[in-house]
Structure formats: structure tokens, C-alpha cells
Chains A and B, each alone.
Chain A
């Protein structure tokens, strides 16, 4: 499943970049996020996080345990993300590329992701998945905008 989009955010890429990698900001911006911690002892140039996120898609609801790692970090312009998440309702794995470009009215954040799902969520929720993922992303940026003003 391929997803992506562009979000317009206030502030320069410099100001935004660190916030996007900050565990507390991430925790507050991810809908349903119950815990999110940065993992120590990562390889050079890689940042890792562990999170639990409650997700509901239609009738399918579950608590995902996710590990996220960020790599290819080129501050303040871009980074890559890989995610592996599991829950009783299914598994998710994916990669994403995030790019920040400064513009006349702030920063354009462009993201492109490729995700694989399996389990109940893939069987029953697949029709709803694309729209749900898009809403999830939109919600993230709405919260981020609220947070950074």
C-alpha cells in the first residue's frame, strides 16, 4: 500500500526538524499514542523509538507495539523511516521518506510511504485502510500545527 502527501507547516525546516524527531512531540501528535520512548544504543546516524498506539479502523481495534527507526538523517532536509508494528489484530511494516523544503510561507513537508499489513486488519479492514491511514496522517499534521503554532 503506497501513501503520501504534502503538509504545509509554519516555521523554517531548521525550526521544525528537531521537533519532528523529538519523542514528546511525536507522542502528542500521534493519535492514540500511549507511550513513546527513544531507544538508546542505536547505530551511528540512526534514531530509534518504541511506542504503543491504540488504533481503530472500522470495527477493528487494537493496541500496536511499534518500533520505529529513523536513518539517512540529513538535517534539516530529509530522513527515512522504517516501522514495524504488531498487535492482536495484525501486523504492519513499512518505510517512508520525509522531505522538508522551505517556501515563502513556511515549510512544505512531503512524505511518501510504502506499507504492508497482515492479519485481521488486512482481511477485514483493507477497504478502509487507505482512507484511515490518510486520516491518521492528516491528524498528525493538524496536531503538529497546533503544537508549534
Chain B
């Protein structure tokens, strides 16, 4: 599979508008008589609402409506689609708080006014009779008997208690075979996804047809339609959802939010289109957070580093309510705990705790960064305890045959983990590096080498294996126009991936035309057949395969036309570089397309036109992998960390556009580095969000990043015809443990075993003091 475009670093078609400021985001959408919504959000982490006084707000200039939870009680709750764990307490997550607010930022009152300024002014005139209650934000404390109860309908804050155990050994047998058990408490701290474009929604209602339209900044327009229509109790035929250009998501827009149903409701009530654009402070307090897992891993190992069993107990900080996939996040962590290793036994026990905080949900990697950090950190702890080379411990435990069935029930499709590790070691000249490290140590310098060999799960996925119990497939329609140009109408709705380019590369290569003769259409439920969305590194592997198959159908039909027009049999025609060649004649694709539409000379039993839709249901997930190596020097006096080198060797199968893959890896590493060194969502003990702005939440800046040396190996997946595995999250998954491992390796001579993230200078310094 190669051609003029596939495999080439084609510049992004969408950048023609993006870099000139001509993109069209929800904020850019303007409509006649557009009104604006401002939302009063709970200032308390936990408080009863004993009443409202909205009369003054209603009388403010420009205000046309003020609505509370009493007005929206009939609207269904924000959906939880996650189906693992199977049994979960799932209290209603209301559009506007009903009788009680359960986290700082929960929507309480919505004001609609002619301008956003008027709406914000009117918010200040709203009186809510609050009765503050004790709050709890620590997930383990939330599970204590005397913890404040967040949902009155439940007997505790425990949402679920889930165990997964499997493998050829039991934990007891694994411990018996092993020489020791190495334990490590691990915190995967709460993070904020921080897309550059915050969320935004415009609701419209046509009173004549009783139809609603939502413009929303989402990764999943069709699922938003399905679930929001359900919340509003209307058929999907009466709701159109449009995701225009979307400025980043990282999973935070893989969700169905209160504001979507709310704007539809407000538009219907007020008789005008209503726009809400999320402010950055709202983005921090009411867009989903990621991670939030506090646990302890035990690895049963032999003295040679061989892993016999893994036992992980973790409490997941769910937040106050489930969002779309909240409970599935720690479950995915559990499923992926085998990492890059053949581990004969795995047990994971997850307790899901409601807390007075925003919900956690899918953030770039969604369960895999957590799992990878847990296993990769502990493998390094094993190497340190046994005084083995961390690379040798990894080599000793890599599976040697594929597909490999993990103890957690996954089937790793293909892989060559040794290859990425060896490549990374070769690039960094590992043996020489260890010598340099020894010399540095002798000179009182603390240089550390950190490695992370990760495996992740992508191309989500076979519907029966999806964490939401379905919707793993994808669809694409290819609509060829009479001039031979083609619209590729795809179910995946991108939010920065460059799919308008990568899908066009596939289309242009298959149809043998220039890349500007194919356009990629996405994100409008009135145009696209049905699509699941862009998440779980599935765009190319699943969406691209649906496109591939639709192209197969279109080319097959065009070949029938060509054969008929050239007076030969279909199997005598070949199609290459945009030309159909028969025994005597040849025809350009455009000529055939025109004839198919003209239909004056139709082949027998063939309909006019050249359109095909394909649905692709994958047979398995794909499992990309790689090795990241990070080299740092730590200043033990002040705890600062300096990057010396960063090497990423990723294997995402076949690559459609290497430039886009590099971009994904770069961005992913930056975000993983953010978790390792800088970022943490902090609620104080009363549940106030202390990191509620970009002044307080430490997103890494460009100058804080090392130069990324990126390399690839290529192990195609047998799962799809493209051989592509997916790469959207790999960087985030591989980077975090390699950085923390590097810092811990640097400080090993000082007796430091582990430091909880983020590795701020203060924490590093403190760990050194405590170790001494």
C-alpha cells in the first residue's frame, strides 16, 4: 500500500484556513437574533439549595429568561454510557442542580440575555439560598464511614467495587513461584485536559417544524445527538448536531454535557438562538478532568526479574457524578495493566468513589497512561531492588509470540517490543550512556536514564469490547461527483488530528487523483450518515478503514461502468492512477464518473450514480507500542530537573502521514511531561478549586520541553487493511513513566525510591531530604 500520497508528509489541507484565522469554530457562528447564556455555577463544593430569587435578574436590561433546576427537572440526566464495571451506582446528573449542588462549578441557574455582558450582569442579581454542607474531595476519605454523603439516595459514596482477576496462575501461586513481592503506592493525579478552544454550544429551535439544531464543540456529534435527544425526550429526527471546526479536545469533548441539552431547552423556551461559550474558569471547573487514581501495586517477582503476578488495588476519584465514561476509566487501567509484559497472573481491585469535584473521564490515553505509569514505575522499582538493569528486566518479561493473550483477557494483535527497545538503546548508545552516568556520579552529578516500554490499546474498537457496550464501528460515504471529484463523508469528526488531509490522502491515492479533488466532510449529523467519533486513536484505523471499504465499492462500481463503456468484461479492466484500462481502450476516472451520472448508457442491473457507504466493524483492537528513553540531570540542592535527551521510538503500524504522526507524538509527549513534572488539579479541603485558572494550573510551556528525537518501527496490524494501529495517545502514554523513571534513577544514589507526580522542585528536594 503506497501511492502518491499515502506515507508522505503531505501538508495539512485544513491549515489553509486555520493559519489564516479563517477556521469556523462555535464561537465564530453567528445567527440572526442570537442571544447569549451565562450560567451561575455553584460556589460551594457541597450545599443544599433552599430556594432562589430570580426576580431582580429577570428585570435586568436585555434579560429574556432566567431558569433554575426547577425548570429543567424534567430533562433527563447526563448519560453514563460506560458498561464496565457492570454494576455501578448511577445517581442522576442533572442539567441544572436540583435541590443540592455537589461540586464547585455545577450549573445552578441559566440566564439568557441579548448580550453576554447583560447575561453576566444579571447573574450577579440572582439570589440562591445556600446551605453549605461538609465536603469531601479525597477519594479514600470519601469512602470512610463518617464521610459527608454526596448523594442522599445512596448509602455511601461508593459507586462500585470491581475486581478483575485472571491468568494461568492465581495470586497465591504467583507469590509462591516468586522470590519476593515489590510494592509501590502510586498516585495518578487529577489533570485538566485544557483544549485551546474551550467548549461552546449554540441551541436553535425552529418553532414551525419543532426541530432543534445544536452547534457544539465536540468529538462525537452523532452520539451527542442520540443522547441529547434522549435527555430531551424527542426523536433524533428532530435534533441536528453540528460540530464545526473544533480546537482540540484530548477526550474532554468525548462527552455529552449539560450545556448541550440546556441550550436546546433555552432556545425552545426563549424562541431565539442561544449561545454559550465556555470561559476558561468554567473549562477548569466543569469540563471533565482526567486520571485521579490512588493505588498500590504489588509485583511478585523472581530474583532474575521475572514477573509472576501483579496485584493492584486502586481508588478512583470519580467526582460528584458519572459522565459518559467515568467508571470505565479505572476499568481500562485494569485491563491494560499487563503493559508490555507476559504476566501469568493479574488482579485489579477498583473502588470508585464519588467526591465533591468535577467528574473524571477520558483524557488523552484514558486509563492507559495510568496503567503504564503503574507498571513501568514498578518494573523500575523491581530492577532497583534486585540491582538489575531496568532494560534487562523488561527484556525478560516481553511476550515472545503474537497474538498474545493477557491475563486480563485482551489479545495483543501484533508486536515486536524488543525492536523498539533495541532501537531506542541504539539511538542513545545505552552502554556508553551508563558509563557517562557513572562518571557523572563520581563527580557529584545526578544524571538519570529513564525508560518506558509501553503497549496501548487503540482503534476502539470491536463493538462488543467497547467500554460503553457498543458503538465501536465507523462509517464512511464516498460520493463521486460527475467531474470525478469526490466527497469523503466520514463518521469520525476530527478536533485537530488533520483528518481532512489524512483521509484525503487515502481517497486521492485510491481514486488516482489530485488531493484537491477530494474533500473530507464531517461533523454534521444532517450530512453524515452516522458516525461514532474521533477518540481512542481510532480515526485512521477504524474510520480510515470504513473509508477504504467505501472506496472499494465505488471503484468496483466504476469498474463495471468502465467495462460496459469500453465494451469488455469487468475482470478485463484494471484501475491504476486514475485510469481504467481495458484490452483495447482506456478511460479516465472522471469520464467514467460523468457517464455514471449521465446514465444514458447504463450497464445491465446497474443504478446511476457513484456513491457508496460502508460500515466497518473491527474484529479486534490494535495494540501500538514503543519505547521512550529520557535522560535528565537533577540538581539535588534545589530539586530542579534538566532534560539532556528525549528519545521516542513508537510503532503505530503503517503510517498514512508521517508529519501528522510526528505531531501527535510531540503533542502527546508534551502532555505526558505535563503530568510528570507540572500539572495537578487541586481542590482544597473545602472543595474549592484552587487551580482554577491558567495562572494556577501549570500547563507546560514550549521552553520547558526538551527536543524530541522521534523514531519509528513499523509492525502492521493484521486487524485492518491499512495496517494502521493509531497514534493519537501514544506520546502521552509512553512519556510520563520514562521521565519519572529518569528522575528516580538520577537520585538512586541518594536513596530516593519514588516521588509522587508532579515532580516539582519542592517535591524532588523533599524526597531527597526524606531519603537522607
Binding site for B on A (CB under 8 A): 88, 90-91, 93, 116-120, 122-124, 126-127
Assess A123 versus B686: contact at CB under 8 Å? Given A118-B43, A118-B44, A118-B132.
Answer: no
B160 at the interface (CB under 8 A from A): no
Assess A116 versus B281: contact at CB under 8 Å? Given A88-B123, A123-B692, A124-B692.
Answer: no
Compute how far the CA of A88 lies from the CA of B128 in the bound complex, rounded to whole angstroms.
11
B104 A123 Cβ-Cβ under 8 A = yes
A-B contact pairs, 27 of them (CB 8 A): A88-B123, A88-B124, A90-B43, A91-B44, A91-B130, A93-B132, A116-B686, A117-B688, A118-B45, A118-B104, A118-B686, A119-B43, A120-B43, A120-B281, A122-B43, A122-B684, A122-B686, A122-B690, A123-B284, A123-B688, A123-B689, A123-B690, A124-B695, A124-B696, A126-B688, A126-B690, A127-B696
A123 B44 Cβ-Cβ under 8 A = no
Compute how far the CA of A58 lies from the CA of B432 in the bound complex, rounded to whole angstroms.
53
Name the CB-closest residue of A to B285.
A123
Compute how far the CA of A123 lies from the CA of B688 in the bound complex, rounded to whole angstroms.
6
B693 at the interface (CB under 8 A from A): yes
Highest count of chain A CB atoms <10 Å: which of B132, B688, B696: B688
Residues of A within 8 A of B693 (CB): 123-124
Name the CB-closest residue of B to A90.
B43
Residues of A within 8 A of B692 (CB): 123-124
A122 B696 Cβ-Cβ under 8 A = no
Residues of A within 8 A of B695 (CB): 124
Binding site for A on B (CB under 8 A): 43-45, 104, 123-124, 130, 132, 281, 284-285, 684, 686, 688-690, 692-693, 695-696
Residues of A within 8 A of B45 (CB): 118
A64 to chain B, nearest CB (A): 12
Name the CB-closest residue of A to B692.
A123
**What are the 9 closest A-B residue pairs judged by CB atoms, nearest first?**
A119-B43, A123-B692, A122-B688, A88-B124, A118-B43, A123-B689, A118-B44, A126-B690, A124-B693
Q: 20 more A-B contacts (CB under 8 A) besides A118-B104, A118-B132, A123-B285?
A: A91-B44, A91-B130, A91-B132, A93-B132, A117-B688, A119-B43, A119-B44, A120-B43, A122-B684, A122-B686, A122-B688, A123-B104, A123-B284, A123-B688, A123-B689, A123-B693, A124-B693, A124-B695, A126-B684, A126-B690
B132 A123 Cβ-Cβ under 8 A = no
A124 B43 Cβ-Cβ under 8 A = no
Residues of A within 8 A of B686 (CB): 116, 118, 122
Q: How many A-B residue pairs have CB under 8 A?
A: 44
Compute how far the CA of A117 lies from the CA of B692 in the bound complex, rounded to whole angstroms.
15
A39 to chain B, nearest CB (A): 19
Residues of B within 8 A of A93 (CB): 132
Compute how far the CA of A124 lies from the CA of B124 in the bound complex, rounded to whole angstroms.
17
B13 to chain A, nearest CB (A): 40
Assess A123 versus B124: contact at CB under 8 Å? Given A90-B43, A91-B43.
Answer: no
Interface SS of A by simple majority: mixed
A124 B281 Cβ-Cβ under 8 A = yes
Compute how far the CA of A135 lies from the CA of B624 in the bound complex, rounded to whole angstroms.
57
B307 to chain A, nearest CB (A): 44
Residues of B within 8 A of A123 (CB): 104, 281, 284-285, 688-690, 692-693
Compute how far the CA of A118 lies from the CA of B131 in the bound complex, rounded to whole angstroms.
13
Residues of A within 8 A of B132 (CB): 91, 93, 118
Compute how far the CA of A120 lies from the CA of B124 in the bound complex, rounded to whole angstroms.
12
Residues of B within 8 A of A126 (CB): 684, 688, 690
Compute how far the CA of A120 lies from the CA of B692 in the bound complex, rounded to whole angstroms.
9
A131 to chain B, nearest CB (A): 16
Residues of A within 8 A of B281 (CB): 120, 123-124
Residues of A within 8 A of B130 (CB): 91
Name the CB-closest residue of B to A62.
B124
Residues of A within 8 A of B689 (CB): 123
Compute how far the CA of A120 lies from the CA of B132 in the bound complex, rounded to whole angstroms.
16
B721 to chain A, nearest CB (A): 50
Highest count of chain B CB atoms <10 Å: which of A88, A93, A123, A127: A123
Compute how far the CA of A119 lies from the CA of B124 in the bound complex, rounded to whole angstroms.
13
Name the CB-closest residue of A to B130.
A91
Compute how far the CA of A117 lies from the CA of B686 in the bound complex, rounded to whole angstroms.
9
Residues of B within 8 A of A90 (CB): 43
Residues of A within 8 A of B684 (CB): 122, 126
B458 to chain A, nearest CB (A): 36
B628 to chain A, nearest CB (A): 34
Compute how far the CA of A124 lies from the CA of B694 in the bound complex, rounded to whole angstroms.
10
Residues of A within 8 A of B285 (CB): 123
Compute how far the CA of A118 lies from the CA of B45 in the bound complex, rounded to whole angstroms.
8
Residues of B within 8 A of A120 (CB): 43, 281
A134 to chain B, nearest CB (A): 19
Residues of A within 8 A of B690 (CB): 122-123, 126
Name the CB-closest residue of B to A88.
B124
Residues of B within 8 A of A88 (CB): 123-124
Compute how far the CA of A90 lies from the CA of B132 in the bound complex, rounded to whole angstroms.
13
Residues of A within 8 A of B688 (CB): 117-118, 122-123, 126
Highest count of chain A CB atoms <10 Å: which of B43, B124, B684, B688: B43
Residues of A within 8 A of B44 (CB): 91, 118-119
B53 to chain A, nearest CB (A): 13
B632 to chain A, nearest CB (A): 29
Residues of A within 8 A of B284 (CB): 123
Highest count of chain B CB atoms <10 Å: which of A93, A122, A124: A122
Residues of B within 8 A of A122 (CB): 43, 684, 686, 688, 690
Residues of B within 8 A of A116 (CB): 686
Compute how far the CA of A88 lies from the CA of B124 in the bound complex, rounded to whole angstroms.
5
B126 to chain A, nearest CB (A): 9
Name the CB-closest residue of B to A123.
B692
Name the CB-closest residue of A to B685.
A116
B454 to chain A, nearest CB (A): 35
A100 to chain B, nearest CB (A): 31
Name the CB-closest residue of B to A119.
B43
Compute how far the CA of A117 lies from the CA of B690 in the bound complex, rounded to whole angstroms.
11
Compute how far the CA of A126 lies from the CA of B684 in the bound complex, rounded to whole angstroms.
10
Residues of B within 8 A of A127 (CB): 696
Compute how far the CA of A127 lies from the CA of B690 in the bound complex, rounded to whole angstroms.
8
Residues of A within 8 A of B104 (CB): 118, 123
Residues of B within 8 A of A119 (CB): 43-44
Residues of A within 8 A of B124 (CB): 88
Compute how far the CA of A118 lies from the CA of B686 in the bound complex, rounded to whole angstroms.
8
Name the CB-closest residue of A to B135.
A118
B682 to chain A, nearest CB (A): 10
B427 to chain A, nearest CB (A): 42
Name the CB-closest residue of A to B125.
A88
Compute how far the CA of A79 lies from the CA of B90 in the bound complex, rounded to whole angstroms.
49
Compute how far the CA of A122 lies from the CA of B130 in the bound complex, rounded to whole angstroms.
17
A86 to chain B, nearest CB (A): 8
